[in-house]
Amino acid sequence: HAEKAAAKARIKQLLIDQDAVLVAHYYTDPEIQALAEETGGCVSDSLEMARFGRDHPAKKLIVAGVKFMGETSKILSPEKTVLMPTLEATCSLDIGCPIDKFSAFCDAHPEHTVVVYANTSAAVKARADWVVTSSIALEIVEHLDSEGKKIIWGPDRHLGSYIAKETGADMLMWQGDCIVHDEFKSKALKELKIQHPDAAILVHPESPANVVALADAVGSTSQLIKAAQTMDNQEFIVATDRGIFYKMQQAAPGKTLIEAPTGGNGATCKSCAHCPWMAMNGLQAIEASLTATNKTEHEVFVDDALRDDALVPLNRMLNFAK
Residues that bind ligand CIZ (CB under 6 A): 45-46, 118-119, 133-134, 178, 206, 221
Return the amino acid letter for 18. Q
- Does 275 carry a binding-site annotation? yes
241 binds ligand SF4 (CB under 6 A): yes
- CB 82 → ligand CIZ: shortest distance, Å? 17
Helices 157-167 and 137-146, interaxial angle, to 10°? Answer: 50
- CB 93 → ligand CIZ: shortest distance, Å? 8
- Does 239 carry a binding-site annotation? no
91 binds ligand SF4 (CB under 6 A): yes
* 118 binds, options ligand SF4, ligand CIZ, none, Cβ within 5 to 8 A by partner type: ligand CIZ
Per CB under 6 A, which of residues 252..281 are in contact with ligand SF4?
A: 275, 277-278
**Contact assessment for residue 215 and residue 203, using Cβ atoms and an 8 Å cutoff:** yes
- Does 205 carry a binding-site annotation? yes
From 28, 38, 65, select the one nearest 50 (Cα to Cα): 65
**Contact assessment for residue 76 and residue 56, using Cβ atoms and an 8 Å cutoff:** no
- Residue 150 backbone dihedrals phi, psi, to 5 degrees: -90, 145
- Residue 289 backbone dihedrals phi, psi, to 5 degrees: -65, -25
- Does 1 carry a binding-site annotation? no
The H or E element containing residue 116 is: strand 113-117
- Does 206 carry a binding-site annotation? yes
- One residue of 124, 138, 180, 286 binding ligand SF4 per CB under 6 A: 180
For ligand SF4, the closer of residues 15 and 215 by Cβ is 215
- Residue 196 backbone dihedrals phi, psi, to 5 degrees: -130, 70
For ligand SF4, the closer of residues 168 and 263 by Cβ is 263
For ligand CIZ, the closer of residues 112 and 245 by Cβ is 245
Cα 89 to Cα 20, 94, 213, 259, 280: the distances in Å are 20, 11, 31, 24, 6
For ligand CIZ, the closer of residues 72 and 290 by Cβ is 72
Per CB under 6 A, which of residues 181..240 are in contact with ligand SF4?
A: none
- CB 117 → ligand SF4: shortest distance, Å? 9
- One residue of 15, 47, 93, 300 binding ligand SF4 per CB under 6 A: 93
- Does 118 carry a binding-site annotation? yes
- Does 210 carry a binding-site annotation? no
From 51, 14, 2, 9, select the one nearest 23 (Cα to Cα): 51
For ligand CIZ, the closer of residues 119 and 262 by Cβ is 119
- CB 277 → ligand SF4: shortest distance, Å? 5
Write the binding mask 24 to 63 for ligand SF4: x where contact by CB under 6 A, - elsewhere.
Answer: ---x------------------------------------
From 320, 309, 316, 279, select the one nearest 32 (Cα to Cα): 279
Q: Is the peptide bond prior to 155 cis by the omega test (within 30 degrees of 0)?
A: yes
- Does 204 carry a binding-site annotation? yes
For ligand SF4, the closer of residues 211 and 275 by Cβ is 275
Find all residues with CB under 8 Å of 308, minimum gap 6, and list them: none
- Residue 110 backbone dihedrals phi, psi, to 5 degrees: -65, -20
For ligand SF4, the closer of residues 183 and 309 by Cβ is 183
- Does 25 carry a binding-site annotation? yes
Percent helix / strand / coil, the chain, rounded to 5? 50, 15, 35
- List of residues contacting ligand SF4 (CB under 6 A): 27, 66, 91-93, 119, 178-180, 241, 275, 277-278
